[in-house]
Structure 1
Amino acid sequence: MLSNLNGWHLLILILVVLLIFGAPKLPGLARSLGQSMRIFRSEVKAMKDDDGKDSASSGSTNASTESGNDKPAKPAS
């Protein structure tokens, strides 16, 4: 869909955006969009860091529980 856009299409799109929002509001919209993108990127990075920490800690926990207790658990009565 976006691969079919050429220069004229982009120019018309920019003019429509200017007509809808007005020139004075565009810097505020761009600033707000930039802040939203920055927050989104930081949250994605934090999620990736958390996933890395979880997989590293679960690997060490599994190794310690496998070698720690060889007796089977008693069934509940």
Structure 2
Amino acid sequence: MTKLLFIGGVGMPEILFIALIVLLLFGGKKIPELMKGIGKGIRGFKDGINGIETGISKEENAELIKKHDEK
């Protein structure tokens, strides 16, 4: 059976190698801008997930109140 790439995890040497390649490709000045963009994207994703959860819980509460008022 053929082993897939990266089975067994990614160790410190692999992480350092990837960081070196990114540094060479983008340069030192561009990396902070990239990280800032990634951070904003992650934050937006989390805010979206929290908004969905809040919306669902509000809908559930409204349904429970409606059922309680009907009794």
Short-chain TM bin: 0.7 to 0.9
Deviation at 1:3, TM superposition (A): 4.7
Q: How many residues align?
A: 66
**Cα separation, partners in 2 of 1:49 and 1:64, compared to 1, 3 Å:** same
- Root mean square deviation of aligned Cα: 1.8
Equivalent residue number for residue 24 of structure 1:
29
Equivalent residue number for residue 4 of structure 1:
9
> What are the ranges of 5 or more consecutive residues in structure 1 without an aligned counterpart?
68-77
TM-score by length of 1: 0.71
Q: Secondary structure at the match of 1:5?
A: coil
> What are the ranges of 5 or more consecutive residues in structure 2 without an aligned counterpart?
1-5
User: Separation in 1 of the partners of 2:21 and 2:9?
Assistant: 18
Equivalent residue number for residue 47 of structure 1:
52
Higher helix share: 1
Q: 2:42 aligns with which of 37, 42, 48?
A: 37
Equivalent residue number for residue 58 of structure 1:
63
Equivalent residue number for residue 19 of structure 2:
14
User: Separation in 1 of the partners of 2:31 and 2:22?
Assistant: 9
